[in-house]
Amino acid sequence: MRIKVGVIFGGESVEHEISIISAIQAMNKMDEEKYEIIPIYITKDREWYTGEMLKDIDVYQDLDLIKRYGVNVVLYYKNGSYVLQKKNGLFKRVIKELDIAFPIVHGTNVEDGVLQGYLQTIGIPFVGANVYGSVAGQDKAMMKDIWKGIDLPMTKYVWFYDVDYRQDKEEVMKKVHTLKFPVIIKPATTGSSVGISVCDNDETLLEGLDEAFQYDSKVVVEEVVENLKEVNIAVMGNYEHQKVSEIEEVLSTNKFLTYQDKYIGGGKSKIKGGVKVEGKSKGMASTNRKLPADLDDKTRKEIETVATKAFKALGSAGNSRIDFLIDEKTNKVYINEINSIPGSLAFYLWEAKGLDFTKVLDEMINIGIKDFKKRISKTHSFETNILSGYAASGGVKGAKGTKGKLK
């Protein structure tokens, strides 16, 4: 009997479209002899849909088609099973049962622990990091503070909230001035280079902060690495075991890897297996890269070691991509950030190590199943008579006496 895998993608995120590309790439590479693949698309207004049509990327050119022909569903636990049930209509029948959820989502409101919290609450096994790992993997300020605690090599940085900036701009500027220009400004919890800018002076700094605060309430400012070479590596596993992919050098003519570099690219697109595989629809696979990266053995080993430590420190699981910055003049390595659910699931980094996309997906699902078994083996509740004791002491009567007083 095939394992029923619910692939969840989309969501209320600035990376909504990138999630669609990543999910469809993955669904087209899953072993259909082993898995029944059930697409679950979350619209930008947070409605959930399922249907075979959702495996075809062309459908997303007209979202009205999805609402017309897809089935609007809710995912919940019912009679010992995890089910997708029809949301509307007189007969709210069960459409599908799931064995495991596979979130292939990017960015705020989905990759950041929000979706993982819901999945963990209803109890369904799922692929990837749990709530804590997802939160730490999305919040750049939290991520860096954790890595700082275990002495991983990073550029100097500061972070602050929009309320700090509004209430005392002078104090915030003083904080930023502990860094040396040029600096790079990043919204703390968004991805795909959205809202990021490089600043050489106070004037451009203020413009960059205004831009970043349009996307997030928390901002990270860090020193720019001079003579920059940017390299990426993927780590797969959980807190117990980790293995690393090949390392790539990402090529860009910009000061940092932009949304255009990552996802838009150039050239025309063509359809292959239901997915546009060239030009703007290749996701992270469209990025210009040198694979493997041109690195000496010492630098390569340092990146692999730091990456596994970083992955474990955040409690990551599944398959994450970790980005590094190298000053080519000094050969100094800095860890930049982690992507808990990377664009295109970083399949190209594993292919370069001899592990094809189908096997990567298989391993990710197996890790998700093992992590679920570990999670349910732990004690999460215990017998207690606290409520009966509370009632016996008149606690409930006391609470009744407050009726109408609590606003």
> pLDDT tens for residues 331-387?
999 999 999 999 999 999 999 999 999 999 999 999 999 999 999 988 877 676 666
Average pLDDT estimate for 213-234: 96
pLDDT band with cut points at 50, 70 and 90 for residue 256: low
Q: In which region does residue 365 sit, left (phi positive, over 0), alpha (psi from -120 to 50) or beta (all else)?
A: alpha
Strands 100-103 and 3-10, how do they pair?
Answer: parallel
Structure confidence at residue 68 as a pLDDT band (50, 70, 90): confident
CA distance linking residue 53 with residue 70, whole number of Å: 7
Q: What is the pTM of this model?
A: 0.87
What pLDDT score does 398 carry? Answer: 54
What are the backbone angles phi and psi of residue 35, rounded to the nearest 5°?
-125, 140
> pLDDT band at 279, cuts 50/70/90?
very low
Neighbours of 311 (CB within 10 A): 27
Look at residue 380 in the predicted model and tell me its pLDDT: 73
Q: Where are the domains of the chain?
A: 3-126, 137-152+226-251+288-368, 157-223
H-only helix segments in 85-220: 114-122, 131-138, 140-149, 162-167, 169-176, 202-212
List beta partners, residue 234. Answer: 321
Alpha carbon distances (Å) from 121 to 69, 80, 205: 30, 14, 41
What's the fold here for domain 3-126?
Rossmann fold (3.40.50)
Cβ distance 111 to 105 under 8 Å?
Answer: yes
pLDDT for the residue numbered 190? 81
DSSP class of residue 196? -
How far apart (Å, rounded) are the C-alpha atoms in residues 6 and 246?
A: 29
| pLDDT(259) > 90 | no
Cβ pair 186, 222 in contact under 8 A = yes
> Band of the pLDDT at 14, cuts 50, 70, 90?
confident
CATH code, residues 137-152+226-251+288-368: 3.30.470.20
Question: Percentage of the chain with pLDDT > 90?
Answer: 77
pLDDT more than 70, % of the chain: 85
The C-alpha atoms of residue 271 and residue 268 are separated, in whole angstroms, by 10
**pLDDT, average across residues 128-140:** 97
Q: Give the span between the Cα atoms of 341 and 95, in whole angstroms.
A: 27
Query: Class of the 157-223 domain?
Result: alpha beta
Task: Give the CA angle between residues 116, 121, 122 to the nearest 5°.
Answer: 105
Residue 261 has pLDDT above 70, yes or no: no
CA–CA gap between residue 403 and residue 176 (Å, rounded): 50
